[in-house]
Amino acid sequence: MNKYEHPIIHSDRGCHYRWPGWIKRMEKAGLKRSMSKKGCSPDNAACEGLFGRLKNEMFYHRDWTGVSIQKFIDNLNDYLIWYNRKRIKQSLGNMSPREYRQDLGLTA
């Protein structure tokens, strides 16, 4: 991670995400917590949709036996880069998420 990267952990408002032990772990790891507002399901739905696709496309149907944590992290990173830059979505006008944000002028 470089100095310009600021990882964010997005979660719902479950009690385990508000537990002081969890909060201390996030602070110790230098991670920012993000929670949807109470009753704001669209935020959570977007995250749940991404995690569902990630599990179906990358995680399930694969034998992870013997895969080191570092190799898993590398695979996950490769998937997220592919998802953001290459994977097209019909709901985004057949563009990748990155292309869509660029088309809207939100990123360079």
Q: What angle do CA 4, 28, 17 make, to 5 degrees?
A: 100
CB contact burial 28-64 (16+ within 10 A = b; e otherwise):
eeeeeeebbeeeeeeebeeeeeeeeeeeeebeeeeee
Which tens digits make up the pLDDT trace of 71-80?
A: 999 999 999 9
Which tens digits make up the pLDDT trace of 19-59?
A: 899 889 888 988 887 776 676 666 667 777 888 899 999 99
For the whole model, what pTM was predicted? 0.65
